[in-house]
Amino acid sequence: QVQLVESGGGLVQPGGSLRLSCAASGTIFRMYDMGWYRQAPGKERELVATITSGGTINYVDSVKGRFTISRDNAKNTVYLQMNSLKSEDTALYYCNALFRVLGKSFASWGQGTQVTVSS
State which H helix or E strand residue 37 sits in.
strand 33-39
On the question of pLDDT at 101 being above 90, the answer is no
Closest to 46 in 3D by CA, of 38, 56, 35: 38
Contact 90, 40 (CB under 8 A): yes
Cα separation, 91 vs 37, whole angstroms: 9
Q: According to the model, what pLDDT value does residue 1 have? A: 73
CA dist list (Å): 59 to 17, 48, 104, 118:
17, 6, 24, 23
Q: pLDDT digits over 21-71, tens only?
A: 999 997 788 889 999 999 999 999 999 999 999 999 999 999 999 999 999
Q: Residues 99, 67, 81, CA angle at the centre, nearest 5°?
A: 80
Q: Which stretch of DSSP H or E encloses residue 91?
A: strand 91-101
In percent, the amount of the chain with pLDDT more than 70 equals: 100
Which pLDDT score, from 0 to 100, does residue 27 have?
Answer: 77
